[in-house]
Chains A and B, each alone.
Chain A
Amino acid sequence: MKRFAALLERLALTPSRNGKLRLLVDYFGQTPDPDRGLGLAAITRDLDLRTVKPALLRELVSERIDAELFALSYDYVGDLAETIALIWEPLGPPLDPALSDVVAQLNGAGRAGAGAEMARLLDGLGTSERYALVKLATGGLRVGVSARLAKQALADFGGFYVAEIEELWHGLQPPYRQVFAWAEGRADKPVQAALAPFRPVMLASALDEAVLAKLEPGDFLAEWKWDGIRVQATAEGTERRLYSRTGDDISGAFPDVIAHMAFEGALDGELLVRRASDGQIGAFADLQQRLNRKTVSKAMMARFPAFIRAYDLLEAGGENLRPLPFAERRARLVPFMTGLPAERFDVSPLIDFAHWEELAALRAAPPDPVIEGVMLKRRDSTYVPGRPKGPWFKWKRDPHVIDAVLMYAQRGHGKRSSFYSDYTFGVWNGEGQLVPVGKAYFGFTDEELRQIDKFVRDNTVERFGPVRSVRAEPEFGLVLEVAFEGLNRSKRHKSGVAMRFPRISRLRWDKPSAEADRLETLEAMLPPA
């Protein structure tokens, strides 16, 4: 527990990705099984732990300390778990339990005994360990490390590719003894045991139009870029799963899609919704109503039925198609889809074009408003995880759209004065720091305003009068898609650029903050000096 607590403490304050990786790799190297695996699971949120309600902790602490002293302390510290960890006076004999002991004790305590067990542990632990315990027990562990980064650290520790870990992940159980044995060269690579695992996805890079002239149109297939979310639909035996592009299982929110996945294989495609009212494809805002939910109501499913527009086939009837060229996978995709209900699964059509100019014209006037550009994929591209340079490009219709990270929020005026409604956002510079590039206060719906407002309140780092700075780190932050009319050079802004008429065009809860745009992307959009 001591090592785990020290790790959390360090991770929370280490800004650089490399620093975090190093700390995690050290932890894996210095901590014996099963604790290292449990620590990893806690960070990736795969740890099965009976959680304790914050109300229970407040009750425990109220037996120990005067309510007014607690209130003054909470007000000062600002975080409930931290306040409890700091204020708790350890009255019992010092304890030095392993993380595995703590997990076993919490899980074994049962509902009625949970309070007494927490009190016993808090009484024996040091300050950092108490904090780790409270965070673990309340399910509020957030240390600025994404599951993906933790898996990267595991890959670094073992000297293998992160894609190998990601691919195995859904078949693994904490404390991952077999993986650590493999990492330490004591055992062979574990065999994928789970049905319907996630396959790490292949991503496209943004197209630099200057490069286009050097590319041969005949080498590429083009298709529309739909404004939904990238998903992987995998079915194997009795198991059916829908994964986000980062490997999160989002099956629970889309039972209407799952119900129709009567196939054996893995599809790569865009998840979209249809508007029941007019039968048209829903805008991203419509799709958003169905995201970030563990369950979904019948009414919502009827209003916005979801479907998958498939563009790739990764696996079919147990055969791995990823080593095949894209053109061949496409050719296999069409017959694969024929038996599936068309209102739930269709194929993303190819765009017929001969020259880049022709494609550019089509891209400027797409047949559906939910199209945000075109995708270019080399006919001969095999499916490789990550973002290889060259085989796949996205060519967005509106060049004036970037993904930025929310940095500051300010209280609004008039009827919005109770909300944080004015947002300053930034992009990553070459040193991996966020630099503010603009401010926007419209473009979102009232519901979205409430969501951002909650995010701001839950993730405030600092307050300056009406302004709050919010957590905005590579591993944690809210990505805003910002649309704007143009870009100018600016000496006044630290970033050197100024946006004309920026507005929030979309909230990207699904997008990792590290993948927001970079300053160089904006600089490339500047008019020539």
Chain B
Amino acid sequence: MTPDALLHPRPEGLYCPAGDFHIDPVRPVARALITHGHADHARAGHGAVMATRRTLDVMAIRYGAGFAGSTQVPEGVVEVNGVRVSFHPAGHVLGSAQIRVEKDGVSVVAAGDYKRLADPTAEVFEPVRGTVFITEATFGLPVFRHPNPQAEIGKLLTSLTRFPERAHMVGVYALGKAQRVIRLIRDAGYDAPLYIHGALKKLCDYYEGEGIALGPLLPATSDAEPKDFAGRIVLAPPSAFAAKWGQRFPDPLICFASGWMQVRARARQRGVELPLVISDHCDWGELTDTITELDPEEVWVTHGREEALVRWCALNQRAARPLHLVGYEDEAEE
């Protein structure tokens, strides 16, 4: 069996014919294996879903209890129609996993989205070997070198003392980024209440329940006077700032926590005044180091700037090719 025969792209997503399942399918399928809860990877409406307990919990929070026909949490190595399947932490967001698929001595590790940087709000990435390693390339350009996230939070706290009359509005996606940023703020010694948009509440509560302390969180949609938000940190999905919801804060200072903020034009485009370069993904160095460390026979690249990573592999005498998967959002839910 060749790796290609074991797993290959189809319009619905990565497909394993022997096991008759898809990984992170973008359309409803009979059997789906899901790496993590971000909306472009985890969709509702599949027949059977296999994912980590935490990913299933996140999906239930987002889509309601009946989001799939049936669900299964894999324990150790699971056989699916004769294909050996196992899940391993990816370090991307809480519950995120890499999926290793093996049959007849050929194995493919689909890493999904992953990161290597220490993060108390996600499980630690586990290096898993396989014939093929499928890597994401969201930040797959050598210009992406994520700075120390604690230093980025330092910028936010410095700005707070410099502009104490302004509400600091931090754009964060609801799953993963929000909780990570909150945790980083707490680790920096800031223990005043943080104000959160309603869309973040359920997932923050869930993280708390999983033992990740986030400190006092208050709703930013309460009847509080706008001036009460002066000098406060308000967290919300970035889309909320442009909406009516965002307009009632005093002289808002727009911050955005994302790896994209490394590039100035991106920050300017989004009207961000204080970019915080904090990412859920590997930067270029982590991507290339991971490939070197795992040393697979072949690298498949997906999800982002595939060309550059394939070029790097070529320069380093590694077999690699882009996997042209469709349907994954390159920028959202970063």
Contact = CB atoms under 8 A, between A and B. Distances in A.
B305 A68 contact: no
A21 to B, nearest CB: 12
Nearest to B262: A86
A79 interface: yes
Contacts of B315: 66, 69
A153 B155 CA distance: 22
Interface stretch (B81-89, B116-124, B140-148, B198-206): B140-148
Main secondary structure of the interface of A (DSSP, over half): helix
A22 B264 CA distance: 21
A73 B142 contact: yes
Contacts of B308: 69, 72-73
A26 interface: yes
A76 B143 contact: yes
Interface residues of A, number: 30
B145 A26 contact: no
A76 B141 contact: yes
Interface stretch (B28-36, B100-108, B125-133, B270-278): B270-278
B269 A10 contact: no
Contact of B275 (A13, A65, A72, A78): A13
Interface in A1-58: 6, 10, 12-15, 19, 22-23, 26
Given A72-B305, A86-B262, A10 B274 contact: yes
B91 to A, nearest CB: 23
Contacts of A10: 274
A360 interface: no
Given A73-B141, A73-B142, A87-B142, A14 B273 contact: yes
Nearest to A26: B162
Contacts of A86: 143-145, 262-263
A292 to B, nearest CB: 26
Contacts of B263: 76-77, 82, 86
B151 to A, nearest CB: 9
A65 B263 CA distance: 19
B141 A462 contact: no
A124 to B, nearest CB: 15
Given A13-B275, A14-B273, A72-B311, A79 B265 contact: yes
A123 to B, nearest CB: 14
Interface in A68-109: 68-70, 72-73, 76-79, 82-83, 86-87, 89
A72 B141 contact: yes
Contacts of B144: 86
A77 B265 contact: yes
B163 interface: yes
A13 B265 contact: no
A244 interface: no
A128 B141 CA distance: 18
Given A72-B141, A76-B263, A76-B305, A461 B268 contact: yes
Contacts of B274: 10, 13
Contacts of B162: 22-23, 26
Contacts of A22: 162-163
A251 interface: no
Contacts of A87: 142-143
A12 B142 contact: no
Contacts of A178: none
Contacts of B145: 86, 89, 127
Interface string B241-270: 000000000000000000000111101110
Contacts of B265: 77-79, 461-462
Given A13-B267, A19-B163, A26-B162, A127 B307 contact: no
B312 interface: yes
A19 B307 CA distance: 40
A483 B305 CA distance: 47
A432 to B, nearest CB: 12
Q: Which 3 A-B pairs have the closest CB atoms?
A: A86-B143, A73-B143, A72-B308
16 contacts: A6-B155, A13-B264, A13-B268, A13-B274, A19-B273, A66-B312, A69-B141, A72-B311, A73-B141, A73-B143, A76-B141, A77-B263, A87-B142, A89-B142, A461-B269, A462-B265
Interface of A: 6, 10, 12-15, 19, 22-23, 26, 65-66, 68-70, 72-73, 76-79, 82-83, 86-87, 89, 126-127, 461-462
Given A14-B273, A72-B307, 8 more contacts: A66-B311, A66-B315, A69-B141, A69-B315, A76-B141, A79-B265, A82-B263, A86-B143
